[in-house]
Amino acid sequence: MPTANDALSSWGGPPDLSAWEALMWRAEGDQRTRSAGVVIEFLDAEPDWERMVLAHRRLTRRIPRLRERVVEPLVPLVSPAWSEDPDFDLEYHLQHVRAPRTGALDELYELAATFAARPLDPSRPPWEAVLVGGLAHGRAAYLLKLHHSLCDGLGMLQLLNLTHGHGPQPQEFDSTSMPTPRRRESPTGLLVNRLSMQLVTAPGELLRRSADAVGRLVADPIGTTTGAMRFGNSLRRVLTPPEAGRSPVLRDGGTGYRILTHTVPLDALKAAGKSAAGSVNDAFLAALLGAVRRYHEHVGVVVEHIPMAIPVSLRTDHDPLGGNRFAGARFSAPVGEPDPRVRIRKIHGVIAEARAEPAIGFLDLIAPILSRLPGPVLTEIAGDMTGGSDLQASNMGGIDRTLYLAGTRVSHVYPIGPRPGVAAMVTMVSYEGTCCVGVNLDPDAISDITAFARCLREGFDEVLALAD
């Protein structure tokens, strides 16, 4: 059974980026396709700074991936790889600032939006953290920014669980078991080593795959052919954009960031979903669409459907901690449905169909080709792929215990997802019986932030009323 030390040292997965991770890493040339997200943790008090630094120093040694940077091959014929940063400087990655002016919530969110929008340094490990002291009522906040190539939403929750304490006392680790340092890579060495490996293994791998394919065809010719046709039909559906046209309100945006947060009781949201034969995720999406409908009504526009995207986890129990195992699903979202119960049922059906598509993970098949394209071409393709929706949303899951950071209790955890060419990215994490909803808005598309915040509250209140 894996130990806590094993989990820490293995978080992040293998040394080579997957094709999907390489695609996200290499598409950083445009604000539309940047994929760094931020977690905002609220703390009951401001923790001791020296203890914070010591904890981060110890954990970055225990989790090698946090001290590793991405090394690109000399020519992009193979995937990039993680390699120890010989100049790792914790003082660069971890900073301590005071809250601006009065320490009010909106001032913190302005700071967090600026922090989220600032590109990560590609020559360093792709994460940064800031402790913000001096908030109102003696509280503090911890902002953690991670590039998507490090992990998906579930991988991020794994990281929070591994790096946060279980109480006010310092975490204890087995000092005799330190991770083995990984081999350092260079652009030239990476290219030569990976190409040599591919030349050695390619013939055997090709023969094995050919034999497997022939064996399946001989054993079940009808089933094999039918399965291929089913996948082809599914791929056509997955690649076809949703029938819904873009919203005239949400489609013409910019690259700015505005942050909103909202909290709702987890049990009530579950009960609301169950009342309409749906899940907590269906209720979350129904509340969000209700908010979007209200905002359109506020600006005098009526829409029935909008194109929307959600991530679908492909993780299994055998996948390593960290890394990325997800696919994207696009669908026509029923914004115009006024009845929240009917809206939940419609969403439940649409999401079930999207998850069941055999070709939902098709990007895993073409990512090796896409990730090798020149940067400008790749950025343009990635921008077109992510920019076809008006809205993205993600229910990342839950944290099943109370978190402590440098001995200080974490009261709320708000995920702020990247906003790849959409008007809003809305993300939810459940923590201590509360659903923490983080919203990353485009202020050019959603210009009346105050009105949208009101619509968001009303959208959730409408759905939560079903729990009664």
Give CA–CA dist 413/157, Å, rounded.
Answer: 10
Amino acid at 379: T
Give the pair of three-digit tokens for residue 272: 């609301």
The CA-CA-CA angle for residues 338, 306, 20, to 5°, reads 130
DSSP string, 233-268: HHHHHHHSPPSSPPPTTTSS--S--EEEEEEEEHHH
Helices (H), 264-392: 266-275, 280-298, 340-356, 363-370, 375-386
What is the C-alpha separation between 348 and 352, in angstroms, rounded? 6
Give the integer Cα–Cα distance in Å for 94 and 91.
Answer: 5
Furthest-apart CA pair in the chain: how many Å? 73
CB 372 within 8 A of CB 77: yes
- In whole angstroms, give the CA distance from residue 303 to residue 245: 9
41-72 exposure pattern, b = at least 16 Cβ within 10 A, e = fewer? bbbeebbeeeebbebbeebbbbbbbbbbbbbb
Identified catalytic residue from 56, 93, 147, 148: 148
DSSP state of 119: P
- 205 Cβ contact list (under 8 Å, min separation 6): none
Does residue 296 carry a catalytic annotation?
no
R_g over Cα of the chain: 23
Please give the single-letter amino acid code of residue 408. T
* Concatenated DSSP letters of 22-34: HHHHHTTTSGGG-
Helix (H, G, I), strand (E, B) or coil at 439: strand
Phi, psi of 94 (to 5 degrees): -120, 120
290: CB partners within 8 A, 6+ apart: 340, 343, 458, 459, 460, 462, 463
Buried b (16+ CB within 10 A) or exposed e, 325-358: bbbbbbbbbbbebeebbebbbbbbebbeebeebe
Q: Which residues are catalytic?
A: 148
